[in-house]
Structure 1
Amino acid sequence: MNNKMPVTSFGWAIKQRLVELRMDQKTFCEEHNIPPSRLSNLIHGTRRAHRYRKKVAAILNIDDNDYKEASIL
C-alpha cells in the first residue's frame, strides 16, 4: 500500500524551480537554512508552515498567491 501524500501544485512549482536552478532539495535547504522536513511539508501539503512557505516562495521567485491549496488534513 502506498502511504505517500500526493504533491500539491505549490509543491510541483517548488520542484520545477529547483530543477531549473539545477539544485536538489537537500542542497537548497542547507543553503537557505530551511529544515528539510518543512520543505517536504510544503511540497506535500501536510503542514501549512506559513513562515517557510513565504521564505521558499521568495527565494524561488514563486508567486505564493497562485497556489492556494485545499484544506490540509
Structure 2
Amino acid sequence: MELGQKLKEVRLTERLTQTEICEITGVKMETWKAYEYARSKSVSSIELLKVTTHPRFKKYALWLVTDETAPACGQISPVIG
C-alpha cells in the first residue's frame, strides 16, 4: 500500500475529515489531498513527521514507515475494512 493511502486509512480509522486532520497535524490541505489522491508520488519526511510524532497518531508510526506492527509496544495498524 502506498504511503498516501496509508495516511488516508489512518484518517478514516480516526474518523476525521481531511480538514480536521490537517488542523490537528499542521499539514496543508492541498498537500494532504495530493497524498490521499496519489497526485504526489512521495510524502515529505517533514509532513510524515507531523503525523507520526503527534500523540494521537504515534501508534501508527511503525506501520506507516515499515508495514509492521508491534502491539506490545503500542504500535498498531488502522482497522482496514
Asked whether 1:65 is paired with 2:65, we answer: yes
What letter is aligned with 2:61? I
> Percentage identity across aligned positions?
13
What letter is aligned with 1:21? E
Q: 1:34 aligns with which of 10, 16, 27?
A: 27
Q: 1:9 aligns with which of 2, 19, 42?
A: 2
Could you tell me which runs of 5 or more consecutive residues in structure 2 were left unpaired when the two chains were aligned.
68-81
TM-score (norm 1): 0.58
Count of residues in Structure 1 that have an aligned counterpart in Structure 2:
60
Could you tell me which runs of 5 or more consecutive residues in structure 1 were left unpaired when the two chains were aligned.
1-7, 68-73
What letter is aligned with 1:66? T
Separation in structure 2 between the aligned mates of residue 49 and residue 20 of structure 1, nearest angstrom: 22
Separation in structure 2 between the aligned mates of residue 14 and residue 62 of structure 1, nearest angstrom: 10
RMSD of aligned C-alpha atoms?
A: 2.4
